[in-house]
Amino acid sequence: MKWADVRQAFPEQWVLIEAVRVHTDEKSERILDEVAPLKKFTNSPGAMKAYQEIHREDPRRELYVLHTRRKEPNIIEKKWVGVRQ
Output the pLDDT for position 85.
64
Q: Give pLDDT tens digits along the chain (85 positions).
A: 999 999 999 999 999 999 999 999 999 999 999 999 999 999 999 999 999 999 999 999 999 999 999 999 999 988 877 776 6
Residue 83 has a pLDDT of 72
Q: Is residue 48 part of a domain?
A: yes
pLDDT of residue 82: 72
Position 39 in a domain? yes
Range of the domain at 16: 3-70
Rounded Cα–Cα distance for residues 15 and 51 (Å): 10
Strand (E) or helix (H) holding 41: strand 29-41
Predicted local distance difference test score (pLDDT) of residue 48: 97
Structural domain contains residue 77:
no
Residue 41 falls inside a structural domain = yes
Residue 78 belongs to a domain: no
